[in-house]
Amino acid sequence: MKTIRIGMVGYKFMGKAHSNAWGRLGMFFDSGAKIELKALCGRDSEWVRKAADTFGFESVETDWKALVRRPDIDLVDITAPSNVHKQIAIAAAENGKHVFCEKPLALTAGDARDILAAATKSGVKHQVGFNYRFTPAILLAKQLIDGGKLGTIHHFRAKYLQDWILDPAFPLVWRLDKSVAGSGSHGDLGAHLIDLAHFLVGGMKRVIGMNKTFVAERPEVGIMQGLTAQSSTKAVLKPVTVDDATLFLAEFDNGALGSFEATRFAAGHKNDMSFEINGSKGSVRFEFERMNELQYHDATDDPRIGGFRTIQATEGCHPYMKAWWPAGHVIGYEQTFVHEFHEFIQAIAQNTATSPDFSDGVRCCQVLDAVDQSIAEARWIAVADI
């Protein structure tokens, strides 16, 4: 069996989620290739060494330029902040490495297009980290839509609510710095909703949005771990340069209407990604904090017994579930990463198309940019013009 040797950049929250998934993959799925965790890359030699030992990587690099040139690496996995995606992804592709990149693919749609062009030119496989697509209950929703169970789609209504920066004393972490993250809740959370909308409903014709930064200045960051952080001892206040919340409306190419809300100021909501889709024959609704369930309403039911039913998407007949546990033995957040890597490795092993690939990353960035432009100009923006 072929071996695919992984070189990963970044070892924080996403780095840990990815390492865990790479480690689990062969235990639960036959993807057609064996995984070797070859090298982990980060700027701080002591911390990257510790992370490599914990995650099971053989070696470390402190410069991504050295990592992407290594002949003993087949696939570069980018979990570093968004502002470095472009340079690393392009260099990795030019060195003939397959590339997996976290979302959003780039800071702008133009940069995302450059990444796609480099990957296409070099002929490597590429995939972007829209992990929620790989939730079994969401894939079930996709099967129902594609099978015509919802009929003509009228509405896509989506929310991604978090509250980890509600406290104005929470420090200015990189996710609140435009030059590093590109945008705030919009690119971080909204990107997932946009991708799910593309996946489940289709392309968007035009958008109009509004956004807000509720806390204009925050203390300088000291230590950050996952989504928690401490201020530096100096605690100088610095400007927040991204949105805390972005809301927008969209018209889809197929005539459906969409509403999107992404915020880090929804007190009480931790990782509350949810959507509802209404069609001429029925509806589905999904909440990530109950990710093993899909709610389905069949509008053709006898009205006396109609209404939303709760499907436990944990049967062997549900996507990916045969590989895990007996029915009702629920899965979690980390499995979505295992599933996305299974698809990526399978596509490499069998030389088939990947999905979502960098063109999906570009499509998402086009909508992100169109919404930002609509906010700046206070008018509807055609997505195709971006």
Tell me whether residue 224 or residue 227 sits nearer to ligand SOE (CB atom): 227
Question: Binding marks (x or -) toward ligand SOE, 106..145, rule CB under 6 A?
Answer: ----------------------------------------
Distance, in Å, from the CA atom of 20 to the CA atom of 337, rounded to the nearest integer, reads 9
Find, among 13, 33, 137, the residue nearest to 75 by Cα.
33
Please state the closest distance from residue 98 (CB atom) to ligand SOE, in A: 21
| Three-state DSSP class for residue 250 | strand
Tell me whether residue 163 or residue 293 sits nearer to ligand SOE (CB atom): 163
Residue 343, φ and ψ in degrees, nearest 5: -65, -40
Distance, in Å, from the CA atom of 336 to the CA atom of 332, rounded to the nearest integer, reads 8
Separation in Å, CA 243 to CA 4, 211, 213: 39, 6, 5
Please state the closest distance from residue 323 (CB atom) to ligand SOE, in A: 22
Please state the closest distance from residue 333 (CB atom) to ligand SOE, in A: 8
Per 3-state DSSP, what percentage of the chain is helix, strand, and coil (rounded to 5)?
Answer: 40, 30, 35
Residue nearest to ligand SOE (CB): 188
Please state the closest distance from residue 271 (CB atom) to ligand SOE, in A: 6
Tell me whether residue 88 or residue 262 sits nearer to ligand SOE (CB atom): 262
Distance, in Å, from the CA atom of 353 to the CA atom of 121, rounded to the nearest integer, reads 15
Please state the closest distance from residue 385 (CB atom) to ligand SOE, in A: 27
Number of H helices, E strands in the chain: 11, 19
Question: Binding marks (x or -) toward ligand SOE, 242..281, rule CB under 6 A?
Answer: -----------------------------x----------
Handedness of CA 94, 96, 97, 100 (dihedral sign): positive
Tell me whether residue 55 or residue 130 sits nearer to ligand SOE (CB atom): 130
Residue 101, φ and ψ in degrees, nearest 5: -130, 135
Separation in Å, CA 300 to CA 86, 142, 143, 286: 48, 19, 18, 20
Tell me whether residue 271 or residue 355 sits nearer to ligand SOE (CB atom): 271
Find, among 366, 381, 364, the residue nearest to 209 by Cα.
381
Q: Which of 79, 82, 108, 162 binds ligand SOE (CB under 6 A)?
A: 162
Q: How many residues bind ligand SOE (CB under 6 A)?
A: 6
Tell me whether residue 74 or residue 244 sits nearer to ligand SOE (CB atom): 244
> Within positions 166 to 225, which residues make up the interface with ligand SOE, using CB under 6 A?
188-189
Please state the closest distance from residue 96 (CB atom) to ligand SOE, in A: 28
> Within positions 7 to 46, which residues make up the interface with ligand SOE, using CB under 6 A?
13
Separation in Å, CA 213 to CA 161, 162, 352: 15, 15, 43
Tell me whether residue 13 or residue 325 sits nearer to ligand SOE (CB atom): 13
Contact 99, 75 (CB under 8 A): yes
Please state the closest distance from residue 168 (CB atom) to ligand SOE, in A: 18
Tell me whether residue 13 or residue 47 sits nearer to ligand SOE (CB atom): 13
Residues that bind ligand SOE in the complex, under the rule CB under 6 A: 13, 162, 188-189, 227, 271
